[in-house]
């Protein structure tokens, strides 16, 4: 299924050109029917597909979707609304869980991302410790993702090894230890966002990235991992 359509894009383009409260209120029904409703339906359909394929991620139309309102308290840009839409599916169904799938749609394209984005410093240190403690296990995860065309993103990677991980014996893991996010991404065209096979496309991507999540959950929560929510 996919309830996204050209009307979704038209609303987002219109909001980008008229990012003010008056325009939004006049077009709020379009937002609800053309953006939020299909995104909620996608989340619900993915939750069902994941359960059927034993993928330990879930979500709901009520809890998984980000609000359209921007937090402008400390932002130079005071535009009140986001011109994109996004949702998270996680192991406990919340948006704050560690290790997630993220689906994102803008007026020009879409995106799937999976992994541990901007983990807290203590969590990032734990993940790095897991790499050096069992380097072969980590290298197998990295190689498996790369083989399937999903190398880890190097967004905001460090230029030097982090303190405490700069010993000579860690040289083989240097590039991984410099990462600040352990994330894979796959772009989506608008045509792909509109197509009925969107759920199957996201499911296929999720199954590729699941070993990364399971590795991270073991590192952060122990062998059993967090309880499923």
Which tokens go with 221?
Answer: 């929560």
Within-domain flag for 217: yes
Whether the CB-CB separation of 36 and 67 falls below 8 Å is answered with no
CATH number of the domain to which 80 belongs: 3.30.930
For the segment 29-87, what is each residue's pLDDT rounded down to a tens digit? 999 999 999 999 999 999 999 999 999 999 999 999 999 999 988 888 999 999 999 99
Within-domain flag for 125: yes
User: Quick one: which of 179, 163, 199, 64 has its CA closest to 131?
Assistant: 179
What pLDDT score does 223 carry?
A: 45
Within-domain flag for 228: no
Average pLDDT for 109-125? 97
Within-domain flag for 227: no
pLDDT > 70 in the chain, percent? 96
Within-domain flag for 164: yes
What pLDDT score does 215 carry?
A: 97
The owner of tokens 């050209």 is: 6
What pLDDT score does 116 carry?
A: 98
Within-domain flag for 188: yes
Domain span holding position 122: 6-221
pTM of the predicted structure, to 2 decimals? 0.92
Whole-number average pLDDT of the chain: 94
Helix (H) or strand (E) holding 112: strand 110-116
For the segment 187-214, what is each residue's pLDDT rounded down to a tens digit? 999 999 999 999 999 999 999 999 999 9
Within-domain flag for 229: no
Within-domain flag for 135: yes
Whether the CB-CB separation of 104 and 84 falls below 8 Å is answered with yes
User: pLDDT class for 1, splitting at 50, 70, 90?
Assistant: low
Total domains, the chain = 1
């Amino acid at each position: 299924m996919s309830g996204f359509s050209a009307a979704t894009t038209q609303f987002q383009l219109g909001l980008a050109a008229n990012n003010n409260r008056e325009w939004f209120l006049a077009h709020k029904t379009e937002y609800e029917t053309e953006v939020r409703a299909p995104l909620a339906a996608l989340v619900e359909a993915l939750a069902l597909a994941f359960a059927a394929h034993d993928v330990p991620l879930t979500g709901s139309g009520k809890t998984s979707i980000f609000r359209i309102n921007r937090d402008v308290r400390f932002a130079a840009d005071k535009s009140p609304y986001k011109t994109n839409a996004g949702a998270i599916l996680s192991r406990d169904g919340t948006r704050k869980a560690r290790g997630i799938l993220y689906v994102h749609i803008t007026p020009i394209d879409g995106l799937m991302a999976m992994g541990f984005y901007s983990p807290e410093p203590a969590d990032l240190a734990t993940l790095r410790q897991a790499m050096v403690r069992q380097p072969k296990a980590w290298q197998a995860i990295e190689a498996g993702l790369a083989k399937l065309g999903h190398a880890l993103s190097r967004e905001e990677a460090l230029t030097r090894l982090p303190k405490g991980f700069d010993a000579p014996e860690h040289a083989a893991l240097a590039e991984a230890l410099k990462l600040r996010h352990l994330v894979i991404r796959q772009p989506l065209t608008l045509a792909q966002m509109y197509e009925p096979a969107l759920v199957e496309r996201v499911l296929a991507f999720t199954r590729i990235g699941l070993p990364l999540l399971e590795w991270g959950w073991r590192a952060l929560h122990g062998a059993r991992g967090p309880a499923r929510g």
